[in-house]
Structure 1
Amino acid sequence: MTVLVGYLPTAEGEAAFTAAVDEAKRRGEDLLVVNSPRGGAPVSAEAADPERLAALTAEAGRSGVALRLRTTPHTGELADELLHVAAQESASVIVIGLRRRSPVGKLFLGSTAQRILLTADRPVLAVKP
């Protein structure tokens, strides 16, 4: 089994990564980091730079956790991509970072985290920075 974490280079993404490393270590499982930029976008804030990805790999290694990276661009919604990868990889848990949003913001803009929490068919660990 695998612990899957949706990673963005943000405070929320860092919190999710830290929690995912702890969870993978506790479960004795590998860690799969999904950092999937939107396909076709000329610039994406979702994509972590190679130096940050190397640092994540080193940090997991220091904790004794084997890490795999998945940086394939996605089309459509990020929530759908994470749920698809979770099913494909038989992830035991999905770890995501949460940011504070007002109810009105959620109503108009939707929420990737909310969609994952409501539709995932496996446990979801949601953390805040």
Structure 2
Amino acid sequence: MTVLIGFVPTRVGEAALAAGLAEAAARGDDVVILNSPRRGATVDPDLVDEGVEATLLDAASAVGVSATVDHTDHGADIVEAFESAIERTGARLVVIGMRRRSPVGKLMMGSDAQRLLLSLDVPILAVKPAR
């Protein structure tokens, strides 16, 4: 089975990575780390480079987990990127990180995490970084 981890190079992404690797190691699952750039973006600060990718794969290897990094473009809709990755990998679980936001901030700006929680048809583990 596979655990799909949504990753961006932030504290939120690090929290998702740690939780996803722990879950995969406990169950003997493989991991796909989804680091999906916006389509057409020439510069995306959330896109990991080869050095960070190597660090992610080393972290997985250190806990005995086989991992790959998926850089599939997500275009305008992150939900479609996750749905496509779930279909390709047969993921049994999605792990995402969540930022702390005020209720007003969520109302005004929406939330990719909220959209994923409401839209995906597989179990989702949502984690927050430690304060």
| Unaligned 5+ runs, structure 2 | none
Q: CA RMSD in A?
A: 1.1
1:47-85 deviations in Å (ceiling 9; x for gaps): 012111100101110110000110122211213211221
Q: Percent identity?
A: 46
Aligned residue for 1:34?
34
Aligned-partner Cα distance in 1 for 2:119–2:56:
28
- SS of 1:40's equivalent in the other structure is coil
Q: Retained in 2: the 8 A contact 1:83–1:116? A: no
| 1:88 Cα deviation after fit | 2.8
Q: Is the 8 A contact 2:72 2:81 kept in 1?
A: no
Normalising by structure 1, report the TM-score. Answer: 0.95
Matching of residues 100-115 of structure 1 within 5 Å: 100-115=100-115
Aligned-partner Cα distance in 2 for 1:115–1:80: 11
1:41-60 matches, cutoff 5 A? 41-60=41-60
**Distance in structure 2 (CA, Å) of the matches to 1:118 and 1:88:** 20
Give the TM-score normalised by structure 2: 0.93
- Structure 1: any 5+ residue segments left out of the alignment? none
The count of residues paired between Structure 1 and Structure 2 equals 129
Question: Deviating runs (4+, > 2 A) in structure 1?
Answer: none
